[in-house]
Amino acid sequence: MSSADIPEGTVRNILEQDTLKWVFVGGKGGVGKTTCSSILSILLAQVRSSVLIISTDPAHNLSDVFQQRFTKTPTLVNGFSNLYAMEVDPNVENDDIGGNEGMDSLFSELSNAIPGIDEAMSFAEMLKLVQTMGYSCIVFDTAPTGHTLRLLQLPSTLEKGLQKVMSLKSKFGGLISQMTRLFGLDDEFGEDAILGRLESMKDVIEKVNKQFKDPDLTTFVCVCIPEFLSLYETERLVQELAKVEIDTHNIIINQVLYDEEDVESKLLKARMRMQKKYLDQFYMLYDDFNITKLPLLPQEVTGVESLKAFSRNFISPYQPSTSRGTVEDVERRISTLKLQLEDTEAELDRHRKGKQKV
């Protein structure tokens, strides 16, 4: 593949795809998913009428990254007129689902009987809420890979749950009806009410599931770092996404060390060599992906201004600084060398004094 055929190493393709409705950002824990999803949402807000970023990670970090408190209700991000954020618990809560106490207890029993059905129902309720809000684009800051894959498989989980309930209805439907009449309960507690509620959730999640499988409407951005475990996790994620028919053509490689000329540390140089090996593997495996490399910074990226400043690396490839540039660069290089020389002379003096005592 010639250099002209290699996709651009930015996220411009996502910003320019104005049909996109759902953008998932995921990967291994600790690789910077929340920072990347937050910056993506900021960039999308510059080209879209309204953007919502949702954290589905139980250990929410959105509030920390934006330095603003978010809840399960969409909240306008400070400094924006069209960017909203919310943090939702992927585990179902009876109060959030709505309905009466008797119905909730039945659904609680159902969730214990069918593994994953509680998450599916919670996800369906959240999607139903989001669908009515009319956001132009929705960004998901997802949980680590295993949780994310389960989240994307929830439509089939809900379908299996409904089939199980239907089979129970065919076996015990008459008994349930007799029991509800015997105890003087109204139709709100009957099997029809339960099935109706599940059916409505299934309709919503099936509609969204079709959108998820449409590459014009949905894409998944994989975030990773140039290390073996992260490369392995990314490959597993890409394969699983292919199985569930969700489009992915962007990879963000975070925490990359660049060989800038003032780097003298042997440890850093060793890490650079290790990273280069895995970066080469990323480019070999995903030669048709847009791969965006982000530099490792000496400080965390938190707060809207820091996020905006770092976002430039998402739309144009990062260029490491060199000492052959400005006068300031040369002076910084000389200052570094002077400090290293002073440390070396001090170490030499200590060795000489040690020998004299012996």
Annotated binding site for ATP: 28-35, 227, 254
CB atoms within 10 A of CB 252: 29
256 beta partners: 295
**Paired tokens of 256:** 């990359």
CA 134/CA 146 separation, integer angstroms = 29
Distance CA 41, CA 23 (A): 9
- Side chain identity, residue 113: A
Residues 57, 118, 141, 247: which is the catalytic one?
Answer: 57
How many whole angstroms separate alpha carbon 350 and alpha carbon 344? 10
Q: Are 257 and 275 in contact (CB under 8 A)?
A: yes
Q: Residues in the chain, how many?
A: 358
User: How far is CA 188 from its chain centroid?
Assistant: 39
Sign of the four-CA dihedral 144, 146, 148, 151: negative
Tokens of 71: 């809840």
Helices (H), the chain: 12-16, 33-45, 62-66, 94-97, 101-113, 117-131, 145-152, 154-182, 191-212, 228-243, 266-285, 304-310, 312-315, 327-357
| DSSP state for residue 289 in the 8-state scheme | S
Question: Contact at 8 Å (CB) between 83 and 115?
Answer: no
Residue 194 near residue 106 (C-beta atoms within 8 A): yes
Active site residue 89: no
Instruction: Enumerate the active-site residues.
Output: 57
